[in-house]
Chain A
Amino acid sequence: MSKKVIPIGPYHPLQEEPEFFTLYVDGETVTDIDIEIGYNHRAIEKIAESKSYDQVTFLVERICGICSTSHPFAYSNAIDNLLEIEVPERALYIRTIIGELERIHSHLLWLGLAGHFLGYNTVWMWAWRYREPILDIFERISGNRNHYAMFKPGGVRRDLDEADFPWIKKTLKGLIPKFDMFKGAVIDDPVIRARTEGIGILTKQDVHDYSVVGPTARASGVAIDIRRDDPYAAYDRVDWKVITAEGGGVFAKAIVRILELYESTNIVLQCLDKIPKGPIETNIKDMPVGEGIGRHEAPRGEVFHYIMSDGGNSPARHKVRAPSYVNIASNKKAVIGETVSDATIILAAVDPCYCCTERMAVVDAKSGTKLMDGQDLIRLSQEKTARMKK
């Protein structure tokens, strides 16, 4: 198989600048990891203090492009919690549909990246190809493939047209055979299994110690899911199950995400059948003094928003906590003791916002010299797969 590396994103071998992930190695084994963030810090919490409550929905959408609806979702939940208002039924169903469609496209995106890191570029191309129908659905519903601007405190911004439902259902049902294909590929391919099983393991105790959330936690058998634990939107009005897996390694994390694809499709199809007619928003006149907390189970885990209002037009304080904030820190446990060639897939298994994984470096633990960078790490991972295939 050709060893051509198709590079992803801003990996570059520039030497002198601080890395995001620095792995310290002794021979082939990773002995320590340094994590440095801040390259994406755009001071959104500070900027929110000078925007109106309505404008903040657009602002928080742009915290992350992949799970862009998760933040407005949690933010709207926070404002609804502060005001203790009833959101109309139809809006609850629309919110759920958007949230679950996003989960599908986000998991497919991750699947593609994981495939690339392992050297299966076909998986990458196919996973991203089957993301496109979901983005088409979004474009039909909201006008944009990403950053759909559907949410607002008290309801949703745009209504769904019943005339679109048959097409949406057909598109989603058409994706199910593709999910079967991915599931089969991951479970049946002995090399993929061998590459991912038993590495990057987090035990149930680790999940508690590091306060891990999302599929990363559920892959260790810890059944936490905000949609079920603290229900919101229409999640308690449709039938679905929380997906967990045992093992806690990269394989388990992949299985959880793939099985969640089916659950999300199931939820959307049910919502399209059950959605009642009615208004899509509650009128909000003014904001009293108070506090509100809103959460949402984003594709990566729990998103948490806290709002403090002093009665004015802008939030007095808006705290955002994205799931990757806690999940990335858990890499300290997951990657130490593993080999360098497994490092990329382990770090990617928590599904961090990919831009964060851009700068990686490997340093010799004894001498401190830099041995390789992100590109090299990916290449190592792909080479290991190629060796195992023989």
Chain B
Amino acid sequence: MSLKLKALTKSIWVYHLSTGSCNNCDIEILDLLTPRFDVERFGIMLVGSIRHADAILVTGALNLKTIPRVKAVYDQAPKPCVIIAIGACACGQGMFKNGPNTPDPVDSILPVNIYLPGCPPKPEAMIAGIVKLIGKLREKK
């Protein structure tokens, strides 16, 4: 695998992007930092700027108003950048499918690498998902 991708799997810096969600997934993501789960001991860090991110955690059903912002954020992200869709809304819009303000799902404009379903997915599920992703990336040549 390329050097860049290999470096990525050592210590993932994640950037959180909400495309119009109820915040539950967002709160559970922040919960990962709290003492019970404490993902910082694995080197996973939440960063404030997209330019430092290795992975984007996307939540939400892709609200029309946020589309320009989502595209801009992705353009600014240094590649390679993995996209993790968290929650039922990001995976396939869930109950907001075909809503007037949420016509298309997240993966219509972002190349999602891994889907973590759940409403919201438990923090343990998120950690398991990220670990699977790292495993998958390491297998790639």
A residues adjacent to B (C-beta < 8 A): 5-14, 16-17, 38-43, 46-47, 51, 58-59, 62-66, 68, 109, 125, 128-129, 132, 144-147, 353-355, 358, 375
User: Across chains A and B, which 8 residue pairs bring their CB atoms closest together, nearest first?
Assistant: A65-B24, A7-B48, A65-B23, A128-B34, A65-B22, A43-B101, A62-B22, A129-B35
Once the chains are docked, how many angstroms separate the CA of A63 from the CA of B23? 9
Contact between A47 and B96 (Cβ–Cβ < 8 Å)?
Answer: yes
B27 nearest in chain A by CB position: A65
Interface string of B73-84 (1 = CB under 8 A from A): 100100000000
Give complex CA distance A244, B73 in Å.
43
Using a Cβ cutoff of 8 Å, how many contacts connect chains A and B? 120
Determine which of A10, A12, A39 lies in contact with B65 in the assembled complex, contact meaning CB atoms within 8 Å: A39
**A151 → chain B closest CB, angstroms:** 16
Which residue of chain B is the closest to A51 with respect to CB atoms?
B95
Of A8, A12, A41, A65, which is within 8 A of B49 by CB? A12
B117 adjacent to chain A (CB < 8 Å): no
How far apart sit A128 and B32, CA to CA, in the bound complex (Å)? Answer: 10
Q: B95 touches which one: A46, A58, A128 (CB < 8 A)?
A: A58
Residues of B at the A interface (CB closer than 8 Å) are: 15-18, 20-28, 30-31, 33-36, 46-50, 61, 63, 65-66, 68-69, 72-73, 76, 94-96, 99-102, 119-120, 122
User: Chain A's nearest CB lies how many Å from the CB of B49?
Assistant: 6
Instruction: Report yes or no: A7 in contact with B95, Cβ–Cβ below 8 A.
Output: no
Contact between A66 and B23, CB atoms less than 8 A apart: yes
A9–B28 Cα distance when bound, in Å, is 11
When A7-B48, A59-B95 are in contact, do A14 and B36 touch as well, CB less than 8 Å? no
The residue among B24, B66, B99 with the most chain A CB atoms within 10 A of its own CB is: B24
Across the interface, do B26 and A355 meet the contact criterion of CB distance under 8 Å?
A: yes
A373: nearest chain-B partner, CB-CB: B48
Q: Please indicate the chain B residues that have their CB under 8 angstroms from the CB of A147 in the complex.
A: 24, 119-120
Inter-chain contacts of A13 with B (CB < 8 A): 48-49
Choose one: B20, B46, B68, B95; the contact of A40 (CB below 8 Å): B20
Given the interface contacts A68-B22, A68-B24, does A17 sit within 8 Å of B72 by beta carbon? Answer: yes
Which residues from chain B contact A7 at a C-beta distance below 8 Å?
A: 46-48
Given the complex, which residues of B lie within 8 Å of A144, measured CB to CB? 119
Q: Which residues of A contact B120 (CB under 8 A)?
A: 65, 145-147
Query: A41-B20, A42-B96 in contact; A9/B34 too (CB < 8 A)?
Result: no
Option from B30, B47, B48, B102 in Cβ contact (under 8 Å) with A42: B102
Known: A9-B16, A10-B16, A39-B63. A47 touches B22 (CB 8 A): no
**Complex contacts, B50 vs chain A, CB 8 Å:** 12, 14
Specify which chain B residues have a CB less than 8 angstroms from the CB of A62 in the assembled complex. Answer: 22, 24, 94-95, 119
* Also in contact, A125 and B35, with CB within 8 A (given A8-B30, A355-B26): yes
Find out whether the CB atom of B72 lies under 8 angstroms from the CB atom of A10.
no
Judge whether B47 and A14 touch: CB under 8 Å: no
Query: In the bound complex, do residue B73 and residue A12 qualify as a contact, i.e. CB atoms below 8 Å apart?
Result: yes
Do A42 and B61 have beta carbons less than 8 Å apart?
yes
Residues of chain A with a CB closer than 8 A to B76's CB = 14
Given the complex of chains A and B, what is the CA–CA distance between A38 and B21 in angstroms?
12
22 example contacts (A-B, Cβ-Cβ < 8 A) are as follows A6-B33, A9-B26, A10-B16, A10-B17, A10-B18, A10-B26, A12-B50, A13-B48, A14-B69, A42-B99, A43-B99, A47-B99, A63-B22, A65-B26, A65-B120, A68-B22, A128-B31, A128-B35, A145-B120, A146-B24, A353-B23, A355-B26
Report B89 CB to chain A, min CB distance, Å.
Answer: 8
Cβ 8 A contact of A354, one of B23, B28, B96, B101: B23
In contact, B35 and A9 (Cβ under 8 angstroms):
no
Cβ of A56 to closest chain B Cβ, rounded Å: 10
Report chain B residues within 8 Å CB of A42: 20, 61, 63, 96, 99, 101-102
How far apart are A154's CB and chain B's nearest CB, in angstroms?
A: 22
- The reply to whether A41 and B101 form a contact with Cβ atoms under 8 Å apart is yes
- Across the two chains, which residue of chain A brings its CB closest to B66? A39
